[in-house]
Structure 1
């Protein structure tokens, strides 16, 4: 066997395991999910890393724009053709999708040759770091813009040549590990529901009694470093930075950090401190202004220009401010002032600065945050368990795909 990116297994082109690749269309649609009995067209955000979000769709009301041949069926292997650099080429299986959802022209359906490959196995391979690197290398598009990968490039991806029986054993072993992860995620979801209920109660009871102020009067708002023309030579430094993909709703994901070079004199302007609230500039309308408080886990660290840094003064707890920006009232403000384009919505720094914010006494803020922080500490403990399990799971899966593991052994998954 020759040496390759997957270790012990030889490789074949992905196209040799497919019957064909299909694409859809992107008809005129409203930025609302389809209701019962309505047709919808999928957004690229419907395809996530290893899972499918059918609610990420736009309703199509014009019957002349509905194409039943593009309807997503149970078991379809879907892949994004166009997305940001980090997200282009993501793949997942559509497990029991609701009826009347169509492929868009940015999502492909990979029709697998069932005599040669298992669809779930292919989806696992497409998620591996070695395959992702191939996708990033093949994708075209200018820096900072949408990236595209063609059907020809997808067909030429190198994947491990694994016998069908072994593929199915690998899928079964992976399913055992997924059930463990799902059990922990169920616990986490229950805790997050409790946290959301406590947060809703805070603003349902007290808002009308508290004074309000523009955000700019109680905090400073700043944009981060702009990518694309990095300085070189002496007087510069290369540092990690947070981009939109790192700033999620209620948490910061640093599992995949990129680096950027800046002038040393710009460090204070773009650097983060523990306690900074980070808010995203753009995305789907209902996700505008999503964010979380930076915990300082990486220092030094910068933020990109599409992520606003909000640094609170003495009158405001960043945790309380984050609670408000993610509340129904906070989200309603961002949706009201956000600028909507064909594919995305965005807010600017002025709109963030002008946001009206309730300002109860700091002691009351801390008192209200007490029960919420208690639940969050339990969520953090579950997150640590999940993180550890996923690292183990990834290592086991890479061993199985490379041929170094034993998917046929009855304890293969249990040994993780």
Structure 2
């Protein structure tokens, strides 16, 4: 069976969202959900959002019904969601209101499956854009409705397993902040009255290397870390870049195991100062100037404790106060980091915390591996679903009914007199 492939414009109404004027506060408030890109990529149908449109704002927006499939087409290309209630979206999102011949959840899963197509069709600029015209030309398979529902039923079962694993991972993520508060108290208020010291009393703080054209003539090529490699308590080492350095720079900037790396500058104020501990998985390795290195004196403090404090509400609040904004970039300095005040519990208590953190991270790594396997399995199931393999045996058992359905679909979509209609039959 080869399914007919039809453009979105043939099987759905495509609605681009908009933003009612922010200069008119009466447009916003209690009312219907207003979806923006960060509200997407959730398993559940969307019924709540951070911002809502008032009755006045609704009249200036483009409302979409429950079951509409939303796709981000500006910026975070390919993020997908499905409406669980009547709502509106901003202009970064195109919504597909499918005709009766496409099951909404089938359309949703298909959009999740074709992220590479969305990205390949987008115009690459400072901000990636997939315009409405190109979006409408993207094609979707047209199985009979009963087969679409069978595919959705199977995918829902597989997706439920993914959700369970994701929930287990989220629980594991919450363990460490709770453990920190249990052992040391609220980091913002220091209720246990620990001695307060600046980081400069506990560690060496060092800036990184600036990327400049003159480096092309330097003799040594080395891997280096940048902001994209450092997340809150996580390293992302999938993409490592290289820099040319002098021998002196290599000796001065080379990272050591347990160094803390902090983000010096970021467009999002919430991300300045986020940090992770270097695991020495790449040796030797350097860091650029948008990261600040903190090398803890282990006779005075535990790197795991210091890192946890910096990432906590207490540490972040100090860094927010220090931060400066220039041309939309929020920054902190080496001096700011040195002057950050940290409550210092007894070293034995810090070491006990570090051991428990390591044990929890071992569990997290196991959960990560399981999640990766399940995600790969789900991707494989999606591939089989939209190639027709997943329901091949089911289709054989229901062939007569399916052919009748396909003919009805063709009539409804005005395909009956089209030569392409022949593709709706067995090849």
Q: Could you tell me the TM-score, scaled by structure 1's length?
A: 0.72
**1:231 positional shift:** 8.8
Pick one of 87, 93, 114 that aligns with 2:82.
93
Partners of 2:204 and 2:296 within 8 A in 1? yes
Is contact 2:261-2:275 (8 Å) kept?
yes
Tell me if structure 2 keeps the 8 A contact 1:169–1:408.
Answer: no
2-structure distance, mates of 1:218, 1:90: 41
Whether contact under 8 Å (1:199, 1:327) holds in the other structure is no
8 A contact 1:272–1:301 mirrored in 2: yes
Are the equivalent residues in 2 in contact too, given 1:223–1:349 (CA < 8 A)? no
Task: Please point out which of 293, 316, 322 is paired with 1:310.
Answer: 293
Residue 212 of structure 1 and its aligned partner are, at CA, apart by 1.7
For structure 1, list consecutive stretches of 5 or more residues without a partner in the other structure: 2-7, 411-416
Of the structure 1 ranges 157-166 and 327-336, higher mean CA displacement relative to structure 2 is found in 157-166
Q: Of 250, 258, 262, which residue of structure 2 is paired with 1:275?
A: 258
Q: Does 1:292 align with 2:276?
A: yes
Within 5 Å, give how 1:13-412 maps onto structure 2: 13-25=7-19, 27-28=21-22, 37=30, 41-48=34-41, 57-58=50-51, 65=57, 67=59, 69-70=61-62, 74-83=66-75, 87-94=76-83, 96=84, 102-115=88-101, 117-128=102-113, 131-142=114-125, 145-160=126-141, 162-201=143-182, 202-204=184-186, 208-214=193-199, 218-222=203-207, 244=228, 247-253=230-236, 257-258=238-239, 260=241, 262-263=243-244, 268=250, 274-280=257-263, 281-282=265-266, 284-296=268-280, 308-314=291-297, 315-338=300-323, 346-350=330-334, 351-352=336-337, 354-406=339-391
Q: Hey, what's the Cα distance between the residues in 2 that align with 1:265 and 1:159? A: 55
Residues 307-354 of structure 1: per-residue CA shift (max 9 Å, x gap): x35342324433212211222212323444455799x77333455554
Hey, what's the Cα distance between the residues in 2 that align with 1:26 and 1:238? Answer: 50
Q: Is the 8 A contact 2:261 2:293 kept in 1?
A: yes
Tell me the TM-score normalised to structure 2 length: 0.70
Structure 2 unaligned blocks of 5 or more: 396-427
Q: Deviations over 1:358-407 (max 9, x none)?
A: 34454432123333443333333222222222122222222222234347
Q: Distance in 2 between matches of 1:300 and 1:13?
A: 51
